[in-house]
Each structure stands twice: as C-alpha cells, then as structure tokens.
Structure 1
Amino acid sequence: MQIWVDADACPVVIKEILFRAAERTETTLTLVANQYIKTPPSKFIASVRVMPGFDVADNEIVQRVGQDDLVITSDIPLADEVLTKGAQALSPRGEMYTRENIKARLNIRDFMDTLRSSGVQTGGPPALSQSDRKAFAGYLDKWLAKKQRHIT
C-alpha cells in the first residue's frame, strides 16, 4: 500500500502534508510529474519525471498503481481508472472518489468541458480553503490508519 501523486497540479500545501505523513508513517510516497518536483530527502519519498505530453503522468500512475494504493489527483478520468484497478483516489480538496460518485463527476466534467469549448467562461476552481486542507488530512489519516491495520 503506497501513495501516488499526480504532482503537476497538486498544491504545494498538500504535498507538504503528504511529505510529513509519509515520514511519520513510513509510507512510500511517489510523485509523478512531467517537470522536476522538489522533494525532501527521505527513503520513503520519491519522484518520477515523465516526458511532457497529454496524460503521460496519468498513464504512468495507472501503469504502476496497485490494488489498495492511494492516488492523489484532481483529474477525474485518472481517478476513474485507478478505481477500476482497485486503488483509492482522493482529490487535494479532500473529496474521496468512489465507484458510487465517479460517473456523476465525469458527466459534470464533460459538461463543463463542452461549455468551455463553446466559449462560455466557467472560471477556475476556488482557492484551496482551510476546510479543504482539513478534509484532505482527515481522509489521508483514515487511509494511513487502514494501512497500519493491514500491516499488523
């Protein structure tokens, strides 16, 4: 059981939470990005740099992810793929993707893409709030507790 991060768009504050958690719980954490990602020196934290290109980092995560791993991503199609492989997916905003909610989220994403491609200004997501960070940390702690129970 390890954590994979779709790191290109992951907020710095979320990465910092992940770095501390990986060290504290001795959990393997791998950041995947198409650019250099600075990580603290740790035997539990690594980064994988992939070639630039559409979905290259996502494809690398899907290829490497294992059942019961956790993937941190705001990319809904990636979340859908890792759920299909038996892994779990969590957004940096603390939203857990599940088999029950992923199809609705994909439909909303596709609808928003259609609006944007037709010229409608939809705006971006709101800034990451303190409650988002708290929700993220809460779900992360639950997953880490489950990991610890699984090991013992």
Structure 2
Amino acid sequence: MSRRSMKKILLDADASPVTKLVLSHCEAMSIPLTVVHSRDHVPRDGWPDWVDVHIVEAGPDAADFQLLAECRRGDLVITGDIGLAALCIGRGAEVLQFKGDRIRPEELDMLLALRYETQKARRRGKYGRGPSARSRDDDDRFARMLQTLTEAWSKGDGDV
C-alpha cells in the first residue's frame, strides 16, 4: 500500500519514549508519519526525509495545537497527553498512549476527571511518585497495539 493511500500516524514527539519504535514501524509498513515537537526536543540525528516534521516554538501546548491542526478523521495520534487525546478523538482520530493503551471515546470522561483530580493534588503540594520506569513490556505492548491498529487499516477495518 502506498503512503498516499494510507491514513497517517501523528506523533507527539516532545518527550516521546516510543519515537524509534514508531519510526521503524512506519518505515517498514510505508505509513506516512507526521511528528510534532518544540525546538527544545529536536533529535541530534534529525529526521528521515520521508517524515513530515513540524517544529514549533517552545511554549505551553504549542506542539499540541500544531498536532491538532494536522489531525484528521481516521488518523492515529500517539501521545501521552489526555487533554490532547480528547481533542483528537473529537476529530475522529484514534489515540494510542506511549504504554500501548488505546484510548476509547467512552473512557474520556473518566480519564479527564482523573487528570483534573491529579492536577488539583499537585497544586496542593501532593506529588505522587510519578510514572513508573518504562519497561521492555511497555515497548512490547506498544508495538503490538501499533501493529494491530495499522493492520486494521490495511484490511479496511476501522473499528479494532
């Protein structure tokens, strides 16, 4: 399948732990990839020529707004940001988190409420331990779900 006939993957590349996995998968499967990141997160080696790169100025949510502007119905957005995920799902995109969890529309209310409560706790000075360290299992789970979602595209099955 050519890149032109395929939906695209959009990667929220600011602090993404899955960049290499996504690049490798997209190249092997000939899937168009758009990466969005701030000037603070430019990779040392740059990006391959076939990747559509959007570098935005540093600032709160600048990369998120650019990614949202690029997002279309049927695209796959890879992000760790629940707020951005909600906006992309509202546009008809699929969303995959960095640990391999697919966010479904029916989960958004609960996830956004949890995000709100966590932010309130942080403002009160209650900081959790933070996210657990990334494991090989996280990479494997992410790679399996990415493969599942993109295989569904090639079969024309929009609902995985």
Please indicate, yes or no, whether the TM-score normalized by the shorter chain is above 0.5: yes
The CA deviation at 1:40 is 4.4
In structure 1, give the amino acid aligned to 2:74.
D
Alignment of 1:64 with 2:54, yes or no, is no
Q: Is the 8 A contact 1:22 1:29 kept in 2?
A: yes
Alignment of 1:25 with 2:25, yes or no, is no
**For the residues of structure 2 that align with 1:41 and 1:24, how far apart are their CA atoms?**
13
Residue from 2, 12, 24 that aligns with 2:8: 2
Partner of 1:113: 119
Q: Aligned to 1:114, what secondary structure does the other structure show?
A: helix
Provide TM-score, normalisation by structure 2.
0.87
In structure 1, give the amino acid aligned to 2:151.
A
Aligned-residue identity in percent:
28
Partner of 1:142: 148
The CA deviation at 1:122 is 1.1
Provide TM-score, normalisation by structure 1.
0.91
**For the residues of structure 2 that align with 1:33 and 1:132, how far apart are their CA atoms?**
22
The CA deviation at 1:100 is 1.2
The CA deviation at 1:104 is 0.6
Cα distance change on mapping 1:117 and 1:126 into 2, 3 Å: same
Partner of 2:3: none
The CA deviation at 1:39 is 4.3
Q: Is the 8 A contact 1:39 1:46 kept in 2?
A: no
**For the residues of structure 2 that align with 1:31 and 1:73, how far apart are their CA atoms?**
11
After TM superposition, the structure 1 stretch with the greater mean CA deviation from structure 2, 90-99 or 33-42, is: 33-42
Partner of 2:48: 41
**For the residues of structure 2 that align with 1:56 and 1:122, how far apart are their CA atoms?**
26
In the TM superposition, structure 1's runs of 4+ consecutive aligned residues that sit over 4 Å from their partners are none
Alignment of 1:104 with 2:110, yes or no, is yes
Partner of 2:61: 55
The CA deviation at 1:121 is 2.0
Q: After the TM superposition, which residues 117-132 of structure 1 pair with which residues of structure 2 at under 5 Å, given as runs?
A: 117-132=123-138
RMSD: 1.5
In structure 2, give the amino acid aligned to 1:41.
P
The CA deviation at 1:68 is 0.6
- Unaligned stretches of 5+ in structure 1? none
Q: Aligned to 1:101, what secondary structure does the other structure show?
A: helix
